[in-house]
Amino acid sequence: MNRRFSIAIDGPAGAGKSSIARAVAERLGAMYLDTGAMYRAVGLYFLRMGRDADAKYVADSVGDVHISVKPEGGVQRILLNGEDVTEAIRTPEASLAASRVAAVPEVRERMVALQREIARGYSIVMDGRDIGTKVLPNATLKLYVTASPEVRAQRRHRELLLKGEDMPFEQVLSEIAERDYNDTHRAASPLVQAEDAQRLDTSEMTREQTLNEVERLFREAIGG
């Protein structure tokens, strides 16, 4: 494809947005940007300081947080003030911290500006919570990817088990519920489905079925 395009994928935690976005970007030869990882890095910064729940401190100090993205061997490495935190941001604690700091308007303003800057000049696939509504409002295709809370918790629980983390399923489900509440009730860019986004519920879909449907919707969006 010669002309640039953009795909915005939004949805709740654990819906599989990142894996879908990464695979779709590879299929279509586009750049992939995991915006959730950027918020996790900010959350990790304040979590380490024990201040992730202090909105005023986060707002006043977010200027000290520098996030950069470094593609490496097909993997998006996330650097926090020069430190590679790609693995460190994947803990449940970092996830909840990300949800807290993402509610701070100053954090979202900083991240949205950075995400737009990265996207400029590329065909790109982004996933997050406000990509279609704030970051890429004119995206070629907007998707709202979701699944039931139980299915999302099951997926997250399997991921943790594969990493050797034996967290009780009930706790995973509880954290999913807390993340959903935080994301949909924050004052700054709450999680909502963009009016022109296609809703895709993957609860009963295999990975291949999901990717094929996304590609079909994309081809439809570009008139091909």
What's the average model confidence in pLDDT over 126-141?
92
At residue 34 the predicted structure's pLDDT band, cuts being 50, 70 and 90, is confident
Q: Could you tell me if 36 and 85 are in contact, meaning their C-beta atoms sit under 8 angstroms apart?
A: no
Residue 194: per-residue pLDDT? 93
Residue 71: per-residue pLDDT? 78
Domain borders along the chain are: 6-219
At residue 1 the predicted structure's pLDDT band, cuts being 50, 70 and 90, is low
Fold of 6-219: Rossmann fold (3.40.50)
What's the average model confidence in pLDDT over 101-118?
92
Question: pTM of the predicted model, to two decimals?
Answer: 0.80
What φ, ψ does residue 71 adopt, rounded to 5°? Answer: -65, 135
Q: Which of the two residues, 63 and 183, has the higher pLDDT score? A: 63
What's the average model confidence in pLDDT over 14-39?
91
Residue 195: per-residue pLDDT? 94
pLDDT over 70, % of the chain? 98
As a whole number of angstroms, the distance between CA 2 and CA 208 comes to 26
Over the stretch 74-85, which tens digit does the pLDDT of each residue have? Answer: 678 999 999 999
Over the stretch 164-214, which tens digit does the pLDDT of each residue have? Answer: 988 999 999 999 999 899 889 888 778 899 999 999 999 999 999 999 999
